[in-house]
Amino acid sequence: MCLARIVLRVGGREKALRVSDVQLLVWMPFSPIAPVGSRPGFSEQGTIMKRLRWCLFWGVVFSVFATVLAQSRTLEEGWESPPREARLRAYWWWLNGCVTREAITRDLEEMKAKGFGGALVCDADGSSQDGNERAPHGPDFFSPEWRELFRHTLREADRLGLEISLNIQSGWNLGGPVVPAEDATKKLVWSELRVSGPAIFRQKLPQPASRDGYYRDAIVVAYPVKPPANNTIDVRISASSAQPSHPVEDLVDNNPETFWVSAGNQPGKGPSPDHPEWIEFRFTSPVKIERLLLRPRPMYGPHACRLDVSRDGREFRPVGEFTLENPREDFTWSTEPVEGLVFRLVILGAYDRGSLEKPRNVQICELRLSGAGQQWPQQSTRRPIRNWAEKAGYRPLHFSAPDTTPLLEEDEPIPGEEDTTPDQVLDLTDKLAEDGTLTWQVPEGTWEILRFGYTIGDRAYVSTCSEGWEGYALDVLDAGAFQRYWDRVVEVLLADAGPYKGRTLKYLHTDSWEIEPFNWTPTLPEEFERRRGYSITPWMPVLAGRIVGDRRASHRFLYDFRRTVGDLVIDHHYRPFRDNAHKHGLEIHPESGGPHAVPIDAQQCLGFNDVPMSEFWAWSWRHRIGDANRFFVKQPASAAHTYGRRLVAAEGFTTIGPHWQETLWDNLKPSFDKACCEGFNLLFWHAFVCSPQEHGLPGLQYFAGTHLNPNVTWWAKSKPFFDYINRCQFMLQQGLFVADVCYYYGDHVPNFAQHKRSDPARILPGYDYDVITAEALLTRARVEAGRIVLPDGMSYRLLVLPSHGVISLPVLRKVADLAQAGAVIVGPRPKESPSLSDDESEHRRLVAELWDKGKVISDRTAREVLQTLGIPPDCEFVGGDPESDLDYIHRRAGEVDIYFVANRNPRPEQVTAIFRVSGKAPELWNAVTGERQFARVYTEHEGRTSVPLNFGPCGSWFVIFREPTSRHPAERGPAFPQWNALAKIAGPWRVSFDPKWGGPGTVIFEKLDSWTEHSEPGIRYYSGTAIYENEFEVPESWMTTEACQLWLDLGSVRELAEVFVNGRSCGVVWAPPFRVDIGGAIRAGKNRLRIEVVNFWPNRIIGDASLPAEKRLTRTNIRKLTADTKLMPSGLFGPVQIGRLQ
């Protein structure tokens, strides 16, 4: 008996098959298989088993042979012709439903011709946002007409071999007209009432503020009120309504940066004489008021007001009326002293952006009442719970992927500052009648009654939908709400898909989360107790801003409260979404991780996706400035790596501000490259609007996104740019991501991973990391040979714990297990358990066991630990300067190392890249041109390979290591060929501008400059393709064996150019160096040169803006390009040169 070892030779490379290649060990006897019964001592059953082993063995051999052969073949073949799963997708906008069968077919055929792999059908509107014109309305989403267009789409996509994803609604914030209020997103509201006992209390409690006439009771509690110190008069502030992110407490927090906002977000929903808003001051004993002090939010404050007073809190009389004439200034109003128990500021009108017409709401920064030398509310010595509104889910943090560390912080308790203790809180819920009447025997003392209920959330509406799909957004905490929507809408659409389901229709999708904040669902109390192990009821006053027990206990309850909300989002929304899709043979790629600051464990949500998907934005001068506000793909990439997913998708190139102004090589390409270095590998181009031909050119467009469809000026020459994207995506879908560090980011809610350079593990530059959730750490991580490994093959040298030091008990137990198994773990010592569910004594014991005994390293950064372990950086760049902006990502497919390295600067860079690979020759693959070659110059030292790299402006390379260095040794000489100009092609140039688009026909350019520098309007405002023609001589001496190395360099171009020599196309260029190989097209003597240069749409639209409508050449709903908009430099700038690379 012996172990089989097979060596295959494929493509000039030897490949030894090892046990690790097949994960199966097969024993192979040398003796042949004998016929049944021909060998003594062997039963028929034993012989059959032996035959089965032989069949199994040879099946494995042939399977592995085919796999290795395919891997060797597909890297080159996939580079030349990426498979469908690696090709970009169109974020295909059916704008206000304005699509036709003809437009659908044209778009799909053009996508196929240009190398797309598929499209995401997204019925939505938003065409009129930001001052643009609304697109005409087509068939309503889900109508019979719309469904027939959907079926037509699937038939055509199937014919063309394209994959289709479907957004399962119109717009986003999943919902629509089929969603009743009971199934809508909900928020917690409450009212307050103080009563004294002993007494029998029987009256209606004040109903909390509600939205859209929808209110339901949840829980009623009461607690004893501490007597005020030093006989001071206490006051409670309430309001007729408030938006959760701007509660009434903001009126009295002494912070002019915060402000109360009444309900209402639509014009005309603000205060009026018929529907006033009010703010109430309810004192514990009567007071005399002489003055009102008010600081409005500038341009949004009250206008007409009245002050009312009541001696009993039931009957009110007016004290006086006044108006605020200046919407920007603080206001003081005085009156004769008036005594009362309750005072109300009644607001009868308000400003909105300085106008009194149809205000949406009213907003006030600070409000005080004063009299007899006192002011109310008096400055409290008790600090509120830090960031209480955010912790309780009433106010979101920064709107995109925020740092949630502030929610983990709390001040130290002060004895006696608590409002009550859990055991003092009484549950009165069963004493509340349906009409809101409470019947209760009040014990002795003063009691605060809190009536909690729920209503429609402030942003609980479908966003950006086409006409006809307006309605409520689903309650994502309610599994029944999701299932009812699925049955009513999605099942019908899947039935329409028929045989194309799972074949052409591959994915289901939901888009952005923009319903923050939300914090309640009817089953939350039961779910909370089941998941956290204790009742929510005694802690409900914390959700009204009170301190129960002490501030640390209240803080820990809020941690549990948010975690429960986050759990329900997954278990009651994304889990049934995925399970229902899988029953139909479909997968899902919702943008489930935000990045809006909804109360979710964002990466855990993304881990539930079959394809984790988020977004990244192209550069804009106006919106989302800076990488932290543009790139949200490190998180879905980490989700993919840690949950065993191969694809990392993103809605890409979104912008607000530009319209056809996002340039390719210095905006879109470096944005794409940055996303690639974060781990993304599948682009959904946002936005590709379906614009029927009858709407002209450039046609209908969404107000945001990089506009792309067959109507763009550069569509005919677009494929080389799409080829770049597809090549990159194919390479970055190979194998597994390589990272040294696994960073645990906590199990709190909300929680988000930021972009790569936020560097939470503190290992950059040169190393890389994944973020891991508590779920993945608890259920998927183990230790092998000192490395943290996951079931799908990912492994890491270090586990890094978060700097905030908040670790729950279940995770702490896992950390102890990993440490015991030999994992290297780095992180600060936790202070305490974050959850009331945790056993604090066990938590303290484990902390002492891990940190006191040195099982967790806390005195060095992860980077320092790696260096101490002798682990050099995986990729570093030497030779740049402080302005250099270079990045990388590393993947490994079997024994092939794939590095993608990118320069984000619009300037050339010459550096030496040092890779943690040895024994293999570096290959340089250029995804712009498709060229591949071995590096001429490289060196090896101490297990690393140094490779000189020459980056063009915003340039990039794939550096591949697979062949042994013995076969491709380094050479002497320059690392890269140098440009040697042989001749300059000077003017004059014949330049032709299409008269159809206002061009003057053929003109002469004596020199090359921007079209916008010309006085002729047909040139200055030209958009489209212009043709440059010239002739040049090639000496006979050039026609040597080196002739094939002749190149034409165009110098500078805006935006793309295709070069023809003697009628033969030499290629399209869209990025520096704008250079094409002309060796196969030239001949000795005279040569004809034709250069077709394309710019983008803005200049023609800008020119048309100053023309009467009947003389305009363009038609579009976009109105942001005006006669005053700056023109885009356009054309061929040169110098145009012939030369060699030597």
**Residue 135 falls inside a structural domain:** yes
pLDDT at 880: 87
In degrees and rounded to multiples of 5, residue 587 shows phi and psi of -120, 170
Q: Are residues 838 and 911 in the same domain?
A: no
Report pLDDT digits (tens) over 331-351.
999 999 999 999 999 999 999
Q: Are residues 860 and 788 in the same domain?
A: yes
pLDDT at 60: 45
Instruction: Judge whether residue 256 has pLDDT over 90.
Output: no
pLDDT at 949: 97
Mean pLDDT of 1010-1025: 98
Going from the C-alpha of 598 to that of each of 11, 390, 820, the distances in angstroms are 52, 11, 37
Report pLDDT digits (tens) over 116-138.
999 999 999 999 999 999 999 99
Q: Are residues 347 and 474 in the same domain?
A: no
pLDDT at 73: 54
Give the Cα separation of 373 and 233 in Å (integer).
13
Q: Residue 120 in 3-state DSSP? A: strand
Q: Residue 114 in 3-state DSSP? A: coil
Mean pLDDT of 62-68: 45
Dihedral sign for Cα 164, 170, 171, 172, please: negative
Report pLDDT digits (tens) over 786-819.
999 999 999 999 999 999 999 999 999 999 999 9
Q: What is the mean pLDDT of the chain?
A: 92
In terms of DSSP bridges, do strands 118-124 and 89-95 run parallel, antiparallel, or are they unpaired? parallel
Q: Specify which residues 1077 forms β-bridges with.
A: 1047
**Residue 207 falls inside a structural domain:** no
Q: How many domains does the chain have?
A: 6
pLDDT at 243: 85
Q: Are residues 543 and 672 in the same domain?
A: yes
Answer with the one of 377, 406, 427 that is the final residue of a domain: 377
In degrees and rounded to multiples of 5, residue 246 shows phi and psi of -140, 70
Answer with the one of 80, 105, 137 that is the final residue of a domain: 80
Query: Which CATH number goes with the domain that contains 947?
Result: 2.60.40.1180
Token pair for 1035: 């000496």
Containing domain of residue 1080, as a range? Answer: 981-1141
Q: Are residues 848 and 777 in the same domain?
A: yes
Give the Cα separation of 845 and 863 in Å (integer).
28
Q: Are residues 471 and 592 in the same domain?
A: yes
Q: Are residues 1118 and 1007 in the same domain?
A: yes
Mean pLDDT of 774-781: 98
pLDDT at 398: 78
pLDDT at 209: 87
Mean pLDDT of 429-449: 97
Q: Are residues 903 and 828 in the same domain?
A: no
Report pLDDT digits (tens) over 6-45.
434 333 343 433 333 333 333 333 333 333 333 334 344 4
**Residue 1096 falls inside a structural domain:** yes
**Residue 908 falls inside a structural domain:** yes
Q: Are residues 807 and 899 in the same domain?
A: no
Q: Are residues 58 and 43 in the same domain?
A: yes
**Residue 383 falls inside a structural domain:** no
Q: Residue 5 in 3-state DSSP? A: coil
Answer with the one of 43, 61, 80 that is the final residue of a domain: 80
Lowest mean pLDDT among 371-375, 391-395, 615-619: 371-375
**Residue 399 falls inside a structural domain:** no
**Residue 409 falls inside a structural domain:** no
**Residue 447 falls inside a structural domain:** no
Query: Which CATH number goes with the domain that contains 565?
Result: 3.20.20.80
Query: Which CATH number goes with the domain that contains 253?
Result: 2.60.120.260
Report pLDDT digits (tens) over 72-98.
458 999 999 999 999 999 999 999 999
Instruction: Judge whether residue 215 has pLDDT over 60.
Output: yes
Nearest to 389 by CA among 493, 522, 543, 539: 543
Mean pLDDT of 969-983: 91
Give the Cα separation of 737 and 759 in Å (integer).
17
**Biggest CA-to-CA distance, the chain:** 121
| Report field, pTM of the whole predicted structure over 0.85 | yes
Instruction: Judge whether residue 3 has pLDDT over 80.
Output: no
Nearest to 734 by CA among 438, 407, 958: 958
Confidence of residue 403 (pLDDT cuts 50, 70, 90): very high
pLDDT at 5: 38
Mean pLDDT of 575-600: 96
pLDDT at 43: 44
Q: Are residues 1102 and 1009 in the same domain?
A: yes
Report pLDDT digits (tens) over 702-759.
999 999 999 999 999 999 999 999 999 999 999 999 999 999 999 999 999 999 999 9
Nearest to 807 by CA among 774, 854, 839: 774
Q: Are residues 849 and 994 in the same domain?
A: no
Give the Cα separation of 52 and 46 in Å (integer).
10
